[in-house]
Amino acid sequence: MTLARETFHQQISQNKRRSILLMAVVVVIFAVLAWFIGFALAGDPANAVFFVPIGGIIALVVALGAFYGGDSMILGVSRAREVSETEESQLVNVVRELSLAANLPEPKVYVIEDSALNAFATGRDPEHASVAVTRGLLDRLDREELQGVIGHELAHVANYDIRFSLLVGVLVGSIALMADILARMTFWGSMSRGRSSGRGGGGAQVFILFLGLLVAILAPLFARLVQMAVNRQREYLADATSVELTRNPYGLERALAKLATDTEKLEGANKATQHLYFVNPVKKLEHNARGLFSTHPAIVDRINRLRKLSGQPEIDESGLGSIAGRN
């Protein structure tokens, strides 16, 4: 591939560094949450310290589990089913030919039996990658459009977006769960310490517990920001790489337009996995795609980037329908 080769390799290096940094940050967050949980249980800062290594160990176990088994978890949550060439010959052939063009190992191929239009790639590296598409995508996209979508997903495989996105998907959910446990225990502990302070003591303990409650609220928000920080620029890069692989910007352009006009909700998707998909499957967030908390650029912006590559004029959202219906 010749398009932005330097940028592509920079993205690979950045994603590898981000994956290590993300795991380190999660260990720290788990340790802090564990200290506050320990304090809620023991009521003493010194004794709470014993919970810190427990939190760190749990974080490491979760991180390693996400690294080696997170893709199976996400495929399971998404209700994806592995298919063979006999079952889905066109899909498997498209994945195979574009994998060869990108000089990648051929990933496993999955189908999600859902009429919504979407796709995603996952795995820890190109040698352990999987590509999943919905039944709606297969039914409503022609071969050129399907090539555009698969080329985009294989770009995420090649530049290790899949590793970082995989870790984010699992670890964000784990932080939210840990914070929920802390919030419940902090509330229970504050009620108990509050009664004690009313009898002449425990004011400092109540303050620390309320601080723990604040941490329990902020930790998931921080994790959410990390999820949003999965750089939206990567979507533009993957789109451009898909065009280079397929040598056809119009297939991807039409595919994006069709997905933009699709109103069906993808049942197996949720906020923890939304950043993995070709377009945001949470429709109410897709409509606010230029906002701070969006994981994807607006579809019309992605289409206009492609139109710029082929020397076409920009469009607005009113023009999506005409592109979607063009063959």
Among 241, 224, 283, residue whose Cα is nearest residue 121: 241
The residues, any chain, with a CB within 8 Å of residue 103's CB and separated by 6 or more, are none
277 DSSP 8-state letter: B
Q: What is the CA radius of gyration of the chain?
A: 23
Report how far apart, in Å, the C-alpha atoms of 149 and of each of 26, 131, 174, 256, 299 are. 32, 11, 30, 8, 13
Question: Which tokens in the block code for residue 313?
Answer: 């004029």
Question: Which tokens in the block code for residue 250?
Answer: 């119009």
What φ, ψ does residue 13 adopt, rounded to 5°? -60, -40
How far apart are alpha carbons 131 and 129 in whole angstroms? 7
Question: Which tokens in the block code for residue 114?
Answer: 């859902």
The catalytically annotated residue of 145, 153, 244, 253 is 153
Q: Does residue 54 contact residue 31 with C-beta atoms inside 8 Å?
A: no
How far apart are alpha carbons 146 and 152 in whole angstroms? 10
Among 278, 51, 276, residue whose Cα is nearest residue 181: 51
| Partners of 122 in the β-ladder | 130
Report how far apart, in Å, the C-alpha atoms of 175 and of each of 8, 62, 121, 140, 195 are. 31, 10, 23, 38, 30
Is there a catalytic annotation at residue 153? yes
Active-site positions read 153
